[in-house]
Structure 1
Amino acid sequence: MVVYIKFLAVLFYFVLFFNFGDSLECYVCTTQNGNTEKCLRTIRTCEPGEDYCLTTIAWGSHPYWTINADKQYYVSKQCATKSFCEKTWNETLPYCERIWYLDWRCSECCQGDRCNYFVTLTGASLHSSLHLIFIGVLAISAYIYIGRS
Structure 2
Amino acid sequence: MDPLKMVATLVLVMTLFNSCSAFECYVCSNQTGNTEKCLNTIKTCPEGEDACLTEIRWGSQPYFSLGALKQFYVSKRCASKDVCEKTRRKYMPYCTHIWYEDWSCAECCQGDRCNYFVISGAPTQSMSLMAFLGTMVSIFIARYLYNL
TM-score computed with the length of structure 1 as normaliser: 0.74
Task: Show the 5 A alignment for 1:9-48.
Answer: 20=20, 22-48=21-47
Matches of 1:126 and 1:48, distance apart in 2 = 18
Matches of 1:70 and 1:94, distance apart in 2 = 23
What is the Cα deviation at residue 135 of structure 1? Answer: 5.5
> What letter is aligned with 1:72?
Q
Q: Gaps (5+ residues) in structure 2?
A: 1-11
What is the Cα deviation at residue 112 of structure 1? Answer: 1.1
Provide the residue aligned with 2:88 in structure 1: 89
Matches of 1:42 and 1:64, distance apart in 2 = 26
Cα shift readout 1:7-58 (whole Å, capped 9, x = no counterpart): xxxx8xxx5xxx62x1110000111100011111111000011100000000
Aligned-residue RMSD, C-alpha: 2.8
Runs of 4+ off more than 2 Å: 65-68, 129-132, 134-142
Matches of 1:128 and 1:33, distance apart in 2 = 27
Provide the residue aligned with 2:128 in structure 1: 128
| SS, match of residue 83 in structure 2 | helix
What is the Cα deviation at residue 99 of structure 1? Answer: 0.8
> What letter is aligned with 2:128?
S
TM-score computed with the length of structure 2 as normaliser: 0.75
Provide the residue aligned with 1:70 in structure 2: 69
Instruction: Give the 3 Å change call, closer, same or farther, for CA 131–114 of structure 1 in structure 2.
Output: closer
Provide the residue aligned with 1:137 in structure 2: 137
> What letter is aligned with 2:76?
K
